[in-house]
Amino acid sequence: MDYKFAERMTAMKPSIIREILKSSGGGSVIPFAAGNPAAETFPLEAIRSFTESILLENPVAALQYGVTEGYEPLRERLLGHVQQRFHVDTTGNSLMVVSGAQQGIELAAKVFCSEGDTIICESPSFIGSLNTFRSAGIRLAGVPMEADGIDLEQLEAALKREPNVKLIYLIPSFQNPTGITTSLEKRKGIYALARQYDVMILEDNPYGELRFQGEDVPVIKSLDTDQRVIYVGSFSKVLSAGLRVGYVLAPDEVIQKMAVAKQGEDVHTATLPQMIAHRFMTEYDYDSHIGLVCNVYRRKSELMLQALEQKMDAAVTFTRPDGGLFLWCELPASVPMLDYCKQAAASGVAVVPGNAFLVDESEPCQALRLNFSTPSDEQIVRGVDILAQVFAQQKAGI
């Protein structure tokens, strides 16, 4: 059979991260390529207890169809949480529960962008979102990152240059893949440009509660005075990635459109995981749990950074994130990045080539992404040691 796939699939490529994970599933490969939350942060006993009590007390509601917008007690609790934790005025906004933050991002693109419209995004950016946008036939315009966030001058140039810009997509806190946090000054500048050029902002904040050092920076949604920010959050990094529970906070009219679009995808997010998330927020010590998670990632990030400082050649530079799961390594031009990543994989350490996160993967790139949440402490130390050895071999032309 000669399969005639849709034209939109020509722009789609397998996620390099998922492909690396498939090939590195054995215990012998050190997983610096993953983005999984640390298994030791899962509140396993609480999830087990919540699930049992839900299925004993309210099994029909947990297993029956639900409303598209989500389980009402969870929605109400999340609205209060966003107001209190992120200081967002939710007046004129609604909240919808989605099947992971990725679906919220996809729905925002679906309701705002026609084929050929443009989304401006940070470059590098999260590969899952980039592929989502590509699959819809959306043009992508990448704007380079600086140490404190997206380059504002180049962002404005893109807003002037690009046709039919519908969204500015950003991960302002502990960005994936770089670990960079956008400064308050730049967040205000981004919002001002969005108002000036009348463009919506899609703020992706899956790591926002994972700050392990420094002071919080207000989310862009908290600056939103004219209802132009779509805010996406997730339980994946604070409760469990496998439950697939995320949420979107956006202007009422936007949520209404997104709900219609969601009905054509999965009708509603599975109710049992929503009920577990609600119990987690109301019957568990949520703040203490977040503190525990942040402590784990503080230790792991410090361990990786110390190992890099001690073992890696001084010509290699890397970001120092204040939270999240990732850091970004830059190799000197004398060491080909793709060859380095291939040799690292052959030596037992899986890393992600930086060009996978670029809007245009053909652009020159000397970076790679490292994850410190997934590997064990022992794997972090051993993995950095291997990366340093591979660098020395590459530098020597071996």
pLDDT digits (tens, 9 = 90+) for 91-109: 999 999 999 999 999 999 9
Helix, coil or strand: residue 254: helix
pLDDT of residue 19: 52
Say how far apart CA 30 and CA 86 lie, in whole Å. 35
pLDDT of residue 28: 85
In the chain, what are the domain boundaries? 7-43+288-395, 64-283
pLDDT of residue 208: 95
Q: Which residue has the tokens 């392990």?
A: 212
Phi/psi class of residue 137: alpha, beta or left (left: φ > 0; alpha: ψ in -120 to 50)?
left
Report the b/e string of 5-32 with b at 16+ CB within 10 A. eeeeeeeeeeebbeebbeebeeeebbbb
Residue of 100, 31, 75, 87 lying closest to 351 (CA atoms): 31
pLDDT of residue 15: 52
Say how far apart CA 330 and CA 124 lie, in whole Å. 13
Say how far apart CA 18 and CA 61 lie, in whole Å. 34
- Among the four given CATH numbers 3.30.1490.20, 3.30.465.10, 3.30.1330.30, 3.40.640.10, the one describing domain 64-283: 3.40.640.10
Q: Which residues are 130's β-sheet partners?
A: none
Record the pTM.
0.93
Helix, coil or strand: residue 136: coil
pLDDT of residue 395: 84
- In whole angstroms, how large is the CA radius of gyration of the chain? 21
Look up the CATH architecture of domain 7-43+288-395.
Alpha-Beta Complex (3.90)
Q: Which residues of the chain are under the pLDDT cut of 70?
A: 3-4, 8-27, 398
